[in-house]
Every structure is written in C-alpha cells, then in structure tokens.
Structure 1
Amino acid sequence: MDKIIDIEDRIPTLRERRKKRTNRKFTLLLVIFLFTLLGLLYFQSPYSHVQSIVVKGANLATGDEYIERTGIQEGQSMWEIRTSNAEEILLKNDWLQDVTVKRTGLTSVTIEVTEWKKAAYIQSEGGFDLVLENGTVYHSTQKMAPVDAPVLNSFENPKALNRMVKELAKLKGEVLSMISQIESVPSKSDPYRIRLFMNDGFEIRAVIPSFAEKMNYYPSIIAQIGESEKGVIDIEVGSFFQTYVDMYNPQPKEEEEVEETSE
C-alpha cells in the first residue's frame, strides 16, 4: 500500500519555502532600490561632472584653444561627452596629425594631440608663418627672423612648395640646421630650381626632386672644399664649385701687348 502523508506534516515545509521565496524577492527589490538610489546620488553629485581637462602635445595652439574647439567644459556631465565627436572636430584642423579624447578617472578628460612637425618658415605680411611637414601653412605671431628652421622665399607654386617640404623632411638634422634660406628660382625648362643660402656662407644651387639625396652629403662636400674661400656649389646635375670672386667678379684676361710697327 502507498504511504499516506498527512497534509499537516507538510505545512511547515511549505511555509518555510514560501518564506525563503518572499525573502529572495525582498532582497532583490532592495538591491534594485539601492542601486537606483546610488545612481541618482551619483548623477547629482560632483563626481559625475567634469572637474579637470588635460591637454597633451599642444605646441602650435594652446591647450585652452583645443578645449574650446571640442566644446567640452568643466561642470559638464561626464556622460554627455561624445569623445568621437570631439576627435572629429579637432581633426578638421590641417595642422593636426592625430587626436585622442578619452575619459580618465571619475571626473577628468584628457585630450592628446599629435601636431605635424615644423619643416620651415615662410615670410608673410605680419612676420613669419610656419610650414608644416604636410605642407600646411600655419599662421604664426612670430615677428623676428627664425633661426631654428630655414625660411622659404618666392614659393608661389603650391606644388613646388609641397615637394620642397617633403624633401626637407628627408634631410638629416645637422644639414637642416645649416640652411638659412631657400629661394624658388624656376625657369621655363625646370619649375623646381632652387637656391639656398647657408649659415656658413655658401650658396647652393639645386633642384627639388634630387635635393635631399644630394644635400645630405653637404658636410663632406664642404670638407673637401675647405673654409678658406666661400662660393657657389651647384648640385643640380653633378657637384660643381665656384668661388664668389670667380662667379660675380670675373677677372678680365690680360690683353697682349702689340707693338706698333713703324713705317
């Protein structure tokens, strides 16, 4: 015969199960309530708002200028910030190579910018503007003649300017620091002819396409010529040197004396 279980014997067990189930529901609701309360307190507290903005890598523009361009402000909600939008806004500036905007910590935002490096200067009405490695001309407030990079003159052809900048980027640092000015002197047959004035007193004549390849040998060329006489070094085709005296003040040939014959 099947064993008969009295319902009264099962009542305590059912009550215990019901009590545990009720406790679990209550605990779950309490946890949800606490998390909701903490969330509300967090969003109302200063810890959910931007308290500091750090800019790294700013040289051309100031940190404040970069912050202003992104539109991010102190006191703004950390969760209102769209980092990808801020990056896109900054990358519209031609002088920037790369940008990263990220939340750092609970209340900080970091803006990291990689600016194109300076290749040269170009003279403008107000002073000297920067020419960057990507060919961008960055308007500067510099008034004095620069000494940390060459000055480009008469580069009216944008294509020639861009190619010149690319060649400058290939130069060794020691050679680049020896150049004072580079002047564009195009001809009908060659729009890429240039003339350089060096800090050591020499003048160089070259063409842009082969400029960096040949100009990197400049220290060894000078060592062979010596420092006693300055002059013009032509590296357009080969390598030819002529002193300033011979080039700009050629000495006239001595005329042969002719004796007059008497009749």
Structure 2
Amino acid sequence: MDKIIDIEDRIPTLRERRKKRTNRKFTLLLVIFLLTLLGLLYFQSPYSHVQKIVVIGADLASSDDYIEQSGIQNGQSMWEVRTSNSEKQLQKNEWIQDVRVKRSGFTSVTIVVKEWKKSAYIQSESGYDIVLENGSVFQSDQTIAPLDAPLLSDFENQKITMRMVKELAKVKGEVLSMISQIESTPSEVDPYRIRLFMNDGNEVRAVISSFADKMNYYPSIIAQIGKTEKGVIDIEVGSFFQTYLDVYNPQAKEEEIEETPE
C-alpha cells in the first residue's frame, strides 16, 4: 500500500522550489539589465568611436588624402566603419596595387596601402608626372627635374610606353639610377628605337625589345671603355662604342665591345 504524504509536509519543499525559480528569474533579469546598461554606456563613451586612423605605405598620396577617400572619420562609431566599402573606394585609384582596411583594437583603424612602384617620370605642363609599373601616370606637383628615376620624353604611343615601362621593371637598380633620360626615336623600320642619356655623360642607343637584357651589362661595358672617353654606345644589335667626335666623323671606325657579365 502506497504511503500517504501529508500536504503540510510538502509545503516547505514547494516553497523552496518556488523561491529558487524566482531567484533564477531575478538573476537573469539582473544580468540582462546590467548588460543593457553596459552596452548603453559603451556606445555613449569614447571607447566605441574611432579615435585614431593610421595609414601605412603612403608615398604618392598623403595619409590625409587616403583617410578622406576611405570615408572614415575620427569620432565615427566603430560599428559604422565598413572596411570593405573603404577598400573599394581606395582601389578606384589607378596608382594603388592593393589596400587593406582593418580595425585595430577598440578605437583605431589601420589603412595599409601598397602603391605601384615608380618606373619613370614624364614631363607635363605642370611639372613632372610619375609613370608607374602598371603604365598609369600619377599627376605630381613636382617641378624640379627628378633624380630617382629616368625621364621619358617623346613617348606618344601608349603601347610603346607600356613596353618601355615593363622593360624598366627588369633593369637592375644600380643601372636604373645611372639613366637620366630616355627618348623615343622611332623609325619606319623599328618604332621601338630609343636613345638614353646617362648620368655619366654617355649616350646609349637601343631598342625596347632587348633593352633590359643589354642594359644590365652597362657597368661592364663602360669599364672596358674607360672613364675618360665619352660617346655613343649602340646596343641595338651588338655593342659598339664611338666617341662623340667620331660620331660626326664619317671615317670613324666602330670599336666592338665584348658583352661580359659582371
């Protein structure tokens, strides 16, 4: 026969269960209230807003220009920062090869820019614009003749300019720094003929198709010529040297120079 439990004996147990349920509900409501309060305080505090924007890799354009183009502002809510939108805006610039926008910590945003490298300069009405590795031209306010890259002149054909830029990317840095100016001198036979004016006083005649391969031997070529003699080095087919005096002398004999790597 089942044991009969008096209702009065069950009352304390029922009260205890009810009390525990009430405490759990109260604790849950308290936690929700505190989290909501903390959230409100956070969104109202400076710790939820952009306080610092850092730009890494800016050279062609200023950091301020990149920040303005990104659309991100100091004081803006960190939660309103759309990094993908900012990246799309910045990638519209032809001189940017790659860009990454990311949140750094609670209040900082970092913009990492990779610009196309500088290949040469081209003269414009306002000064010297920069020709980049991808063939695009970056308008610059530079008015002083550049020394850190060659100056391109008379390059009116975009296709030829692109071929020239691609060849320049293959030239060793030490050789590139020796070139002052590259002039396009097309002929009916070969539209890719060029003439170079070197910082050491020599002139080089070449064709774009073999330019990089042959120009990388330039230091060994001038080592054979000697520092005292200046003239024209023709590397269109082989490697021939004539002094400036001999260039204008129809009786001059060309001295062939053996191409030897450094």
- TM-score class, shorter-chain normalisation, is over 0.9
Distance 1:34 1:63 in 2: 41
Residue of structure 2 in register with 1:81 after alignment? 81
Distance 1:6 1:190 in 2: 114
SS in 1 for 2:180: strand
Per-residue deviation at 1:4? 2.5
Matches for 1:24-103 after TM superposition, within 5 Å: 24-103=24-103
* Letter paired with 2:159: K
* Letter paired with 1:207: V
Residue of structure 2 in register with 1:130 after alignment? 130
Residue of structure 2 in register with 1:187 after alignment? 187
* Letter paired with 1:239: S
Per-residue deviation at 1:2? 2.4
* Letter paired with 1:225: I
Residue of structure 2 in register with 1:221 after alignment? 221
Sequence identity (%): 79
Runs of 4+, deviation exceeding 3 Å: 249-252
Gaps of 5+ in 2: 253-262
Let me know the Cα RMSD of the aligned residues: 1.4
Distance 1:251 1:229 in 2: 18
SS in 1 for 2:147: coil
Larger radius of gyration: 1
Q: Which moved more, 1:220-229 or 1:62-71?
A: 220-229
* Letter paired with 1:79: W
Matches for 1:83-232 after TM superposition, within 5 Å: 83-232=83-232
Distance 1:7 1:135 in 2: 93
* Letter paired with 2:16: E
* Cα distance per residue 1:191-229 (max 9 Å; x no partner): 111110111111111111111111101111111222232
Aligned residue pairs total: 252
Per-residue deviation at 1:251? 5.4
Residue of structure 1 in register with 2:7 after alignment? 7
* Cα distance per residue 1:118-168 (max 9 Å; x no partner): 111111111111111111111111111111111000000101111111111
* Letter paired with 2:66: Y
Per-residue deviation at 1:77? 1.1
TM-score (ref. length: structure 2): 0.92
Gaps of 5+ in 1: 253-263
Distance 2:63 2:194 in 1: 38
TM-score (ref. length: structure 1): 0.92
* Letter paired with 1:108: S
* Letter paired with 1:236: E
Residue of structure 2 in register with 1:258 after alignment? none
Distance 2:6 2:159 in 1: 101
Distance 2:246 2:151 in 1: 27
Distance 1:160 1:251 in 2: 34
